[in-house]
């Protein structure tokens, strides 16, 4: 990592980012519109000459991700430009959920608090800032749903065109919550991986289109570091001992770990190990399968799960998820669709937090890891609620008990109550 030495350099249009470096062969490139290594086709990531950042400086910053702007590849005036101002979401102490699971100290990082109700607003805000610096004119993406919402909203706020490609069978809530912003929304007949392939071809063809998670991916992915920074700051400048993160492409998990290591290198937190765990749905678990098999490469799969936001069969960061989880002593595990629904309702009923299918995956994996003795119930643990249950209503609607309507009289209410009491007695 290039984060151990701090610099007194003046920030450039990409802040304190110094170069793009290949994650496979280490080759470095000037900052710009490049995402793959010319030598080995490996993915590029942003490296930095980080400045001397203090806790006080961060704490005096804005109540959004730009309080960490000096640790991101964005221009120094980024906070003043029109953007959706994501971040600073709640870290909820989840005592009732912890008790239900037999744990001692558990927190939920609740990403519903972002402008379009998922963590994707963070990555899009960073991608947009970098894309504008590089002269792109259109903000685009292939998406499993939440990214679509975030790109369409951020482009509307910045006054530029958006083009969003989605699989045609996406949840209706995610389609409407993208279309409302007025960009171009294209439903594609096929899986997310088909949509992603089309986006890559378009990115080669349309010079001034920034596909946030394709040709601007090195900048985009850095946005997820802010989840890690916030968790540490909200815990009183400490790292948790364990964290459970949902995995689709795997970028979120990898960047949360990168954030923790940067904070340690900068002396902002004690240099302690946080075990990083990855969560997938069994209907799309290529990384969990590779983890179990002890493989370094991830074999693509064809997804079939209610967790559509995580349905990426060929995950770009899959190998790096394996690296991070193995290095930190974590695990990547997967759970069934029934367990996912049970996870959603358990979180809602214990903490009043209605998360989307991705959090159902995360809670269910947490439960499975505890049962298998792979996660320490006594150690401080954070889980990510990456999106909002209101966008994936169909996943749980059929499971919800619906009482029959009654006439508006006390008598009718009393009759209903006694039938409910009988039902409870019968069930006991
Ligand atoms: C709600 C939600 N959680 C988690 C993820 C996974 O993120 P990543 O692709 O960075 O692994 C996604 C990605 O689409 C998502 O929409
Ligand atoms: Zn390379």
The DSSP-derived string for 286-328 is HHHHHHHHT-SS-------SS-GGG--SS-TTHHHHHHHHHHH
Strand order in the sheet with 28-29: 28-29, 17-22, 44-48
User: Which DSSP state fits 424?
Assistant: H
**367, 101 in Cβ contact below 8 A?**
yes
Q: Which ligand is nearest to the CA of 247?
A: 1
Ligand 1: which of 309, 361, 365, 383 to mutate, judged by most atoms within 8 Å of the beta carbon? 309
CA dist list (Å): 94 to 15, 101, 107, 278, 355: 36, 11, 5, 20, 14
Q: What is the rounded distance in angstroms from the CA atom of residue 382 to the CA atom of residue 179?
A: 33
- Angle at the Cα of 90 (from 60 to 109), degrees rounded to 5? 120
Please say if the pLDDT value at position 10 is more than 80.
Answer: no
Give 200 Cα–ligand 2 centroid separation in angstroms: 19
Q: Is 426 helix (H, G, I), strand (E, B) or coil?
A: helix
**pLDDT, average across residues 133-147:** 97
Q: Which ligand is nearest to the CA of 112?
A: 1
Q: What is the rounded distance in angstroms from the CA atom of residue 400 to the CA atom of residue 336?
A: 19
Q: What is the rounded distance in angstroms from the CA atom of residue 191 to the CA atom of residue 197?
A: 10
How do residues 349-385 score in pLDDT, each as one tens digit? 999 999 999 999 999 999 999 999 999 999 999 999 9
Angle between helices 251-265 and 318-328 (to 10 degrees): 50
pTM metric for this prediction: 0.96
Q: Is 369 helix (H, G, I), strand (E, B) or coil?
A: helix
Ligand 1: which of 358, 362, 385, 387 to mutate, judged by most atoms within 8 Å of the beta carbon? 358
Of ligand 1's listed atoms, the one at least distance from the Cα of 321 is 11
Of ligand 1's listed atoms, the one at least distance from the Cα of 143 is 14
pLDDT at res. 6: 61
Q: Which ligand is nearest to the CA of 39?
A: 2
**20, 28 in Cβ contact below 8 A?**
yes
Report the chain's mean pLDDT, rounded to a whole number.
96
Within 6 Å (CB) of ligand 1, which residues are found? 118, 144, 146-147, 246-252, 309-310, 356, 358, 386-387
Please say if the pLDDT value at position 393 is more than 50.
Answer: yes
How do residues 150-199 score in pLDDT, each as one tens digit? 999 999 999 999 999 999 999 999 999 999 999 999 999 999 999 999 99
Ligand 1: which of 86, 112, 145, 252 to mutate, judged by most atoms within 8 Å of the beta carbon? 252
Q: What is the rounded distance in angstroms from the CA atom of residue 358 to the CA atom of residue 335?
A: 11
Give 122 Cα–ligand 2 centroid separation in angstroms: 27
How do residues 279-299 score in pLDDT, each as one tens digit? 999 999 999 999 999 999 999
Give 310 Cα–ligand 1 centroid separation in angstroms: 6
Pairing of strands 106-110, 90-93: antiparallel
* Nearest residue to 141 (alpha-carbon basis) of 60, 234, 238, 211: 211
Pairing of strands 138-142, 161-167: parallel
Of ligand 1's listed atoms, the one at least distance from the Cα of 245 is 4
Question: Distance from CA of residue 180 to its chain's centroid?
Answer: 23
Please say if the pLDDT value at position 34 is more than 70.
Answer: yes
**216, 127 in Cβ contact below 8 A?**
yes
Please say if the pLDDT value at position 2 is more than 60.
Answer: no
Q: What is the rounded distance in angstroms from the CA atom of residue 133 to the CA atom of residue 157?
A: 17
How do residues 192-249 score in pLDDT, each as one tens digit? 999 999 999 999 999 999 999 999 999 999 999 999 999 999 999 999 999 999 999 9
Q: Which ligand is nearest to the CA of 254?
A: 1
Of ligand 1's listed atoms, the one at least distance from the Cα of 146 is 16
């Amino acid at each position: 990592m290039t984060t151990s030495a701090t610099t007194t350099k003046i920030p450039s249009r990409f802040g304190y980012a110094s170069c793009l470096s290949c994650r496979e062969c280490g080759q470095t490139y000037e900052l710009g519109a490049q995402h793959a290594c010319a030598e080995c086709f490996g993915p590029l990531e942003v490296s930095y000459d980080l400045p001397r950042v203090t806790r006080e400086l961060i704490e005096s910053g804005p109540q959004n991700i730009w309080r960490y702007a000096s640790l991101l590849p964005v221009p120094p005036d980024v906070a003043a430009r029109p953007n959706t101002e994501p971040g600073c979401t709640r870290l909820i102490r989840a005592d009732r959920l912890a008790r239900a699971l037999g744990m001692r100290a558990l927190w939920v990082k609740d990403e519903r608090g972002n402008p379009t109700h998922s963590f994707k607003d963070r990555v899009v805000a960073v991608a947009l800032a970098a894309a504008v610096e590089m002269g792109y004119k259109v903000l685009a993406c292939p998406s499993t749903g939440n990214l679509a919402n975030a790109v369409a909203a951020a482009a509307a706020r910045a006054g530029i065109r958006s083009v969003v490609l989605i699989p045609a069978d996406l949840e209706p809530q995610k389609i409407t919550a993208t279309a409302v912003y007025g960009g171009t929304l294209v439903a594609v007949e096929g899986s997310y991986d088909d949509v992603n392939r089309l986006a890559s071809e378009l990115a080669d063809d349309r010079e001034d289109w920034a596909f946030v998670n394709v040709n601007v991916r090195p900048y985009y992915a850095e946005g997820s570091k802010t989840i890690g920074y916030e968790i540490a700051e909200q815990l009183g400048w400490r790292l948790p001992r364990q964290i459970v993160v949902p995995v689709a492409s795997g970028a979120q998990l990898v960047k949360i770990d990168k954030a923790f290591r940067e904070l340690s290198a900068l002396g902002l937190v004690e240099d302690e190990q946080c075990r990083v765990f990855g969560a997938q749905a069994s209907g799309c678990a290529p990384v969990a399968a590779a983890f179990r098999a002890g493989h370094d490469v991830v074999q693509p799969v064809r997804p079939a799960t209610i967790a559509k936001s995580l349905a990426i069969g060929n995950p770009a960061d899959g190998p790096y998820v394996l690296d991070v989880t193995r290095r930190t002593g974590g695990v990547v595990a997967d759970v069934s669709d029934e367990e996912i629904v049970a996870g959603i309702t358990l979180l809602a009923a214990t903490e009043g937090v209605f998360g989307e299918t991705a959090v159902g995956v995360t809670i269910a994996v947490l439960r499975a890891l505890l049962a298998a003795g792979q996660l320490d119930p006594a150690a401080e643990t954070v889980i990510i609620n990456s999106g909002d249950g209101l966008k994936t209503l169909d996943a749980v609607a059929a499971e919800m008990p619906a009482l029959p309507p009654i006439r508006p009289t006390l008598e009718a209410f009393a009759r209903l109550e006694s039938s409910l009491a009988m039902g409870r007695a019968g069930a006991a």
